[in-house]
Each structure stands twice: as C-alpha cells, then as structure tokens.
Amino acid sequence: MANEIYSYKAYSSLRELVRSAEALLTKHPCLRENGSKSGYDGWTNSLRFKMGNLRTKLSKAGIKDVAVNAGKRSRSNPEVAPSRANVKRPRRGEVNFLPNLPQGHTEESLGAQRLEMVEKSKKKDRDMIMINRYMQSTFALRRDETVKFEPPIAEFKERWPALFAEAQEMDNISAARTAALAGLPLYLREDSSEVFRICKEDELEIFHGGTVALVSVVDEDEDERLAAGVTVRLLYVSIILEDQVVMSVRSWPDALVVLYGLIYALHLSYPKTLKCFFEFIQLLLINLEDGSKQLPPKPQSLKNALE
C-alpha cells in the first residue's frame, strides 16, 4: 500500500491516509480492528509510519523528490533546520515535481545543453526544434534549480530564456471568455487591481515589491475595459513576475494560462489578493484536486451553482 500511495503522492496528508485505510477495510472487511470506533485507526497510523520509512529509504537511494528534504536536524547535525521546517513538496498536485536526471545524462551534459540554448535564444532566427528538444531533456535540471534554490525571476530568465518564449501560434479567444475570467474576482469579492492592469505602450509601469501581474498594453486612444485592469482591445499582454517583464503574448486569456504555467515552473505562490481566484481555477477548472484542499465559502457557493 505504501508503494501504491507513493505512486500518487510522496507526502500524503492525514486525511488522505485515513481515506486509504478506509478503502483497505472496504476491500478487506476481515482487517477491521476490534475496539476502534472507525475500525481502521491503527491502520492509519501504520500507513503514516510506513510512508515515513519508505521516504527515508528512497531518500538514501537518491530519489530526488524526497532526498531534497534530507539532511535535517539530528544528533549529528544539531545546527541545521528541524525536520518539519521548509519541507519542499508539490503545492498544487503537480506531477514530476522533482524528477531525477534522465538516463545517460549528468548535470554537466545538461548544463552544456542549457548554455547552447542560451546562445541560440539570442539569435534572430532561432532553431526552435533544437530548443524545444533541449527544453524537454533539461526539464529535470531546471526543476532541480527551481525547487532547491528558488532563484530570483531575473536570474532565472537569464539562465532559461527559452521558458519565456511563446513557442507557437495561439488562436484568438472570444471576448465573452475574457469577460468571464476577468469578472470572476468580482464574484469572489477579491481586488484584482494589483494583478490585472492596463497601460499605454510607451508607459509600461515600473513595478516594486515582487509584483505578479498581467499588464494589458493598449493604444493611446483605448479605454474600453471589461473589468478592472482588463480589455479585449489590446496590443499584447505583458506578464510580470517579481517586477520583471518576463514575456508577452497576444491575448489576455492566453496570458493567464501562461502565467499559470510559470507559477508552476518557477514554484511560486499565488498572489495574495487573488488567492481564491487562482485556487478556484486550480481546483475546479483544471481539476488539480488532491482531496485535502477545502474551498472558501464564496468559491464553494459558485461550485454548487455550476453543478
């Protein structure tokens, strides 16, 4: 059971272990514990300790998604962080959170591919076939840097410029879809003004304080807005991370999708002012549900209405 649970999630919550123990008794009623109200309290504790032991063995074997949390405080290392401090684990049900390097590659060989991509990205006529191939093969190296060291966006953009390039054409999305997404924070009673913004092409704002934003860049005469900081008549949308303009795309819904990808790729937190907005999309629209996340009342009310 521990191996099966690990295949889904390395760090299971207590609620998920309870559900696993309940499923065990459903399939094998003869394992019910006498004297236990639920009949599986002991099994829950057993799974909890078994998962801890399994993670320890896998960590010693070099499996990165658990080895990243090794080396915590012990009798031999009393000065380091305690075992429960800053545990690195998937935030939003991501797969391939911290994979091992692909077979036949080392950090040096993948580092050489990264340097080649940096040089290719500087050219006007970029070899996108080669860049896409190298981006796939260096995924494990990129995730290792992201999760372990959490570099600033400016440094990450310099090291991995291809991550911020729009790789293919995107179809136009209707104004109705833009309006629905942009109006969602209004229903959830959240202030989107710090994240969704509009400015003229020659007045791209200067951002401070680790800003995460989608900035719609418009013509001089444009002032038709669907919601706070959103319009469909735009030149392009700039994506801002930690005060850096990391890339631009042609439509607002596409920019929101790309922002989600970057939040995952760079292991970032959701903007505090739109936490419900992003969690609603995470848990309901793209269905990244691990069973442990509870929706606040307003998103739950909207979910019930949609059902």
Residue-wise pLDDT tens digits, 77-133: 777 777 667 788 888 777 788 999 999 999 999 999 999 999 998 888 888 888 989
Residue with tokens 């790309």, as numbered in its chain: 258
pLDDT number for residue 273: 92
pLDDT in tens, 153-166: 999 999 999 998 76
Percentage with pLDDT > 90 across the chain:
42
Q: Pick from 230, 234, 206: which is nearest to 221 by CA?
A: 234
Give bridge partners of residue 212 from the DSSP assignment. 241
With cut-offs at 50, 70 and 90, classify the pLDDT of residue 225: low
pLDDT number for residue 204: 73
pLDDT in tens, 245-276: 899 998 898 999 999 999 989 999 999 999 88
pLDDT number for residue 241: 92
Distances (CA, A) of 108 to 111, 112, 114: 5, 6, 10
pLDDT number for residue 280: 87
- Look at residue 291 and tell me whether its pLDDT is greater than 50: yes
pLDDT number for residue 300: 81
Distances (CA, A) of 33 to 6, 30, 39, 42, 46: 25, 9, 5, 8, 13
Q: What's the mean pLDDT when you consider all of the chain? A: 85
pLDDT number for residue 138: 96
pLDDT number for residue 226: 54
Q: Pick from 61, 51, 52: which is nearest to 83 by CA?
A: 52
pLDDT number for residue 168: 41
pLDDT in tens, 166-204: 654 644 556 778 888 888 898 888 999 889 988 887 777
pLDDT in tens, 9-22: 899 889 999 999 99
- Look at residue 227 and tell me whether its pLDDT is greater than 60: no
- Look at residue 230 and tell me whether its pLDDT is greater than 90: no
pLDDT number for residue 205: 67
pLDDT number for residue 166: 66
Q: What is residue 294's three-state secondary structure?
A: coil
| CB-based contact 147:141 (threshold 8 Å) | no
With cut-offs at 50, 70 and 90, classify the pLDDT of residue 69: confident
Separation of alpha carbons 93 and 66, rounded Å: 15
With cut-offs at 50, 70 and 90, classify the pLDDT of residue 49: very high
Cβ-based burial of 19 (10 A; exposed 0-12, middle 13-18, buried ≥19): middle
pLDDT number for residue 170: 46
Burial 149-158 (b: 16+ CB within 10 A, else e): eeeebeebbe
pLDDT number for residue 93: 73
